[in-house]
Amino acid sequence: MPTRINPWSLILVVILAYWLFTLLGGNNTRTSVSYTDFIAYVEEGKIARVVLQEGRITAYFKAPQRISVGNTTETTDRFTVVALPSGYTDLELIQLLRKNGVEITNRPPSIWGPLLYSLLPIAALIAFWWFFFMRAQGGAGQVMQFGQSRARQYGKERRVNTTFKDVAGHTEAKRELMEVVDFLKNPQKYITIGAEIPKGVLLVGPPGTGKTLLTRAVAGEAGVPFFSVSASEFMEMFVGVGASRVRTLFEEARRNAPAIIFIDELDSIGRKRGAGIGGGHDEREQTLNQILSEMDGFEKDTSVIVLAATNRPDILDPALLRPGRFDRQVVIGLPTLEERKEILQVHMRGKKFASDVDVHALARLTPQFSGADLKNLVNEAALQAARENASEISQAHFQAALDKIMLGLERGTLKLSEQEKRAVAYHEAGHAIAGEVLPYADKTEKVSIVPRGMALGVRWSKPEERILMSKEHLEDTLAMTLAGRAAEELFVGTITTGAANDFKQATSLAKQMVLDWGMGDHFKNVAWGSNTGPIFLGEEIAKKQDHSEETSRLIDADIRTILDRAYEKAKEVLSRHAEAVHRLAEELLESEIVQGERVREIIAQTQKPEAVAPTAFNPEA
Ligand code: ADP
Ligand code: ZN
């Protein structure tokens, strides 16, 4: 890591040094007296000794004196006098001093004071210029790197201790990467038989899924040095800096071969050239070209392998993906249920847990969590336990950590009026009851009307592990999502702004149904691409719309139809179970949190007998 020195502190040091210097060089005397007073003291015979110096005289009393300086008085044994201007040398002074028996010392003029004085502005100028130059070079954090070895601008580890054991799940990826490990360990085997060695491997997956971890594990398993850099660090103000950094990085790696280079966030420089906002950015392009030519320049027997990570392989420049470059892709997806369990176990190693901790249940509650999220969950639970001075981490600590991560902290200070509370209670009751009654929706874990984070109330669901989502599930999920607002409309009489987030979620889901999954009335089996997910602004703008205006209108109509249908469905189930909604809302107002079990009980108790099953006597039901 570069040493962080603030340039302003440098300037401060210069000023301080000067001040200190003049202080010491000036005989340490600050009490200053007029020439007339000085003569008077000499004539009174109070002065023992004087030091004559260019520009000033320092006088020493025989014994400390109380003298008046300006408006105040002070006791001192010495004082300074500003000497007469040169050319007005007081010839009588020497005589007067001698007559009064004052010891005279003569000191040559100090050269340091004036020298420093004249150098100061130059020093300040240099510091100023340095500051801006270095800033342009590498951000404020690297200001003082001037003249330092360039090798320090990226992470380098000679020995990596991470192994595949530290990476949970990702079995296929590990198998792929085993080959890289083997090559790094026994390059000769491959070279003798004339096999082409992989030069670049692209790890594709969302952030936090363990791409960096896997690469480190490859280096650790093979026992080779690990060089890492984030592509965004190449981006500099000055054109050419990025490219030269790439050069030094590859040089260093080659010198230490066999070795691994890891480039994180490859998409930040590897974007298609000429695409998107900032397309044709000279610096980006030069850096990218440098990477390409470095990889092309590898000799057949250079055992340096470049691993790169990205979340958006689709926006990468095709040149990067050509044979001999990043021609292998390894997909690192979000962990499955089993993998989440393993990851939790990896991070629970070496910590103390109560016997009630249910890893399987935790894995089930965290469907969209990445490896990094799960690690964070374990850590939050540990913090929670520490806060309570508990000796081990329990399931309750995990639950609290989970709630905090997913929903933000409870906001006990937020005070709602009775009316607002009622609206929130009905809103959440609406979600909960609809979720229970709709056959394909996720069931309720618990409901609460304690404000947390941005939300005034929450309904936790117990999602099931799904790889494929059926249309029925999607439709019921939509209805459940909109049931909050539906309950407000049906039972509270007014509608509130509390449903904004529900609408956003529902709309984006409906959009995906029409655009990605061919579920619109007009577009069976067509996928236009909804572009939801991590949006890369430039790409989206640059991308031409590949459907006509008429199609756009139909797409909008389909999305609307899906949402309207879901809302009607929500209203329908809630009116059918109005009794249950009322009861749940009342219980929420009373105790703030209601468990899923209780919700199901309420529904069972309020169910009208004829709704259970149609019979010959009651064919309407
Ligand atoms: P990425 O590079 O994909 O963004 P990282 O490798 O930086 O993700 O992962 C961040 C952290 O999350 C890792 O240091 C590790 O502690 C944890 N982690 C992620 N995936 C896994 C996994 N499969 N097994 C164990 N830990 C993981
Ligand atoms: Zn809601």
Three-state SS letters, 59-74: EEEEEEEEEEECCEEE
Tokens representing 465 are 């592990």
Range with the largest mean pLDDT of 232-236, 403-407, 434-438, 454-458: 434-438
For the cut 60, the answer to whether the pLDDT of residue 237 exceeds it is: no
Position with higher pLDDT, 543 vs 212 = 212
Counting Cα atoms < 13 Å in the Cβ hemisphere of 105 gives 10
Question: What HEC string does 95-156 produce?
Answer: HHHHHCCCEEEEECCCCHHHHHHHHHHHHHHHHHHHHHHHHHHHCHHHHHHCCCCHHHHCEE
Q: Which residues contact 553 (CB under 8 A, 6 or more apart)?
A: none
User: Does 31-109 match 152-331 in CATH topology?
Assistant: no
Which residue in 170, 332, 198, 204 sits closest to 258, CA to CA?
198
The answer on pLDDT for 160 being more than 60 is yes
Residue 167, amino acid: V
Q: Which single residue is written with the structure tokens 């993998």? A: 339
Greatest mean pLDDT among 46-55, 67-76, 129-138, 557-566: 557-566
pLDDT at 614 over 80: no
CA-closest candidate to residue 215, choices 223, 207, 204, 226: 226
**Å from CA of 430 to ligand 2 middle:** 8
| Residue 352, pLDDT score | 86
- The 3-state DSSP class for residue 198 equals coil
Token pair 């691409």 is found at 529
**Closest C-alpha among 544, 257, 593, 196 to residue 407:** 593
- Of 312, 311, 307, whose CA–CA distance to 327 is shortest? 307
Distance 398 CA to ligand 2 centre (A): 24
Marked catalytic residue, from 176, 221, 233, 428: 428
- Site to probe by mutation for ligand 1, drawn from 172, 232, 375 as the one with most ligand atoms within 8 Å of Cβ, is 375
Report the C-alpha gap between 287 and 279 in whole angstroms: 13
Please tell me the distance between residue 455's alpha carbon and the centre of ligand 2 in angstroms: 9
Q: Is the pLDDT at 144 greater than 50, yes or no? A: no
Tell me the residue type at 594: V
CA-closest residue to ligand 1 atom 11: 372
Atom of ligand 1 nearest to the CA of 332: 3
What is the 8-class DSSP label of residue 412? T
Of the given ranges (132-136, 261-265, 304-308), which has the lowest mean pLDDT? 132-136
Instruction: Report the pLDDT value the prediction gives residue 405, as an integer from 0 to 100.
Output: 80
Provide mean pLDDT across the span 376-389: 91
Give 410's pLDDT tier (boundaries 50, 70, 90). Answer: low
Q: Compute, in angstroms, the gap from residue 161 CA to the centroid of ligand 1.
A: 15
- pLDDT of 134 reads 66
Identify the nearest ligand to the CA of 457 by its number.
2
| From 203, 209, 232, mutation site for ligand 1 pocket: most ligand atoms within 8 A of C-beta | 209
Over 60: is that where the pLDDT of 127 sits?
A: yes
Instruction: Tell me the torsion sign for CA atoms 213, 217, 220, 224.
Output: negative
CATH number of 339-407: 1.10.8.60
Residues 6+ apart with CB under 8 A from 538: 271, 275, 276, 277, 278, 279
Rounded Cα gap, residues 205 and 320, in angstroms: 17
- Residue 515 pLDDT: 84
Look at residue 1 in the predicted model and tell me its pLDDT: 40
The residue-averaged pLDDT of 540-559 equals 71
Distance between CA atoms of 32 and 79, rounded to whole angstroms?
A: 5
Contacts of residue 451, Cβ cutoff 8 Å, sequence gap at least 6: 410, 411, 414, 416, 457
Q: Which of 514, 450, 451, 453 is nearest to 478 (CA)?
A: 514
* pLDDT tens-digit map of 310-362: 888 877 888 888 888 888 888 888 888 889 999 999 999 888 888 888 888 88
For residues 289 and 243, give the distance between their C-alpha atoms in angstroms, rounded to a whole number. Answer: 8
Q: Is 428 considered catalytic here?
A: yes
Quick check: 478 pLDDT over 70? yes
pLDDT at res. 141 = 43
Closest to 459 in 3D by CA, of 485, 432, 437: 432
Ligand at minimal distance from the CA of 377 is 1
Q: Is 9 helix (H, G, I), strand (E, B) or coil?
A: helix
Domain ranges of the chain: 31-109, 152-331, 339-407, 418-606
Which one has a higher pLDDT value, 494 or 332?
Answer: 332
For 98, 481, 542, the CA distances from 508, given in Å and listed in that order, are: 100, 12, 22
The pLDDT, as a whole number, for residue 501 is 82
Atom 27, ligand 1: which residue's CA is nearest?
371
- Closest ligand to Cα 459: 2
Q: Is residue 216 helix, strand or coil? A: helix
Average pLDDT over residues 523-542: 54
What pLDDT is stored for residue 574 in this prediction?
Answer: 93
The pLDDT of residue 273 is above 70: no
Ligand 1 atom closest to the Cα of residue 335 is 23
Class of domain 31-109: alpha beta
- Picking from 62-71, 167-176, 462-471, 601-610, which range would have the lowest pLDDT averaged per residue? 462-471
pLDDT at 548 over 60: yes
Q: Give me the amino acid identity at 598.
A: R
Q: Which residues line ligand 1 at a C-beta cut-off of 6 Å?
A: 167-170, 207-213, 309, 343, 346, 371-372, 375
CA atoms of 292 and 509, how far apart (whole Å): 39
User: Would the pLDDT of 482 be above 90?
Assistant: yes
pLDDT value at residue 274: 55
Nearest atom within ligand 1 for CA of residue 342: 24
- Which atom from ligand 1 is nearest to the alpha carbon of 309? 2
- Strands laid side by side in the 226-230 sheet: 155-157, 226-230, 259-264, 304-310, 200-204, 328-331
What is the model's pTM? 0.58
Kindly state the tokens that stand for 240: 């050419």
Cβ proximity of 428 and 473 under 8 Å: no
Distance CA 616, CA 64 (A): 121
Residue 571 tokens, joined: 């209203």
Residue-level pLDDT at 4 = 46
pLDDT at 152: 43
> What is the whole-number distance in angstroms between the Cα of residue 52 and the centre of ligand 1?
74
Q: What percent of the chain is helix, strand and coil (3-state, nearest 5)?
A: 55, 15, 30
Enumerate residues 6+ apart whose C-beta is below 8 A from 9: none
Task: Give the pair of three-digit tokens for residue 149.
Answer: 């070895």
- The yes-or-no verdict on residue 153 having pLDDT over 60 is no
Averaged pLDDT, 203-225: 90
- 95-106: per-residue pLDDT in tens? 888 888 888 888
Give the pLDDT score at 10: 67
- Topology of the domain covering 418-606: Methane Monooxygenase Hydroxylase; Chain G, domain 1 (1.20.58)
Tokens of 238: 């000055």
| Secondary structure (3-state) at 56 | strand
Taking the CA of residue 372 as reference, the ligand 1 atom at the shortest distance is 12
Instruction: Give, for ligand 1, the residue of 213, 263, 330, 331 to mutate: max count of ligand atoms closer than 8 Å to Cβ.
Output: 213
Cα–Cα distances in Å, from 442 out to 284, 361, 603?
Answer: 46, 15, 16
The predicted model gives 409-424 an average pLDDT of 74
Q: Which residue has the tokens 């099931």?
A: 464
Cα gap 429→406, rounded to integer Å: 20
527 pLDDT band, cuts 50/70/90, is low
CATH of domain 152-331: 3.40.50.300
- Pick the ligand that lies closest to the CA of residue 164: 1
Distance CA 24, CA 6 (A): 27
Least confident of 242-246, 333-337, 535-539, 592-596: 535-539
Ligand 1 center to residue 341 CA distance, Å?
14
Give me the sign of the Cα torsion angle 128, 134, 139, 145.
Answer: negative
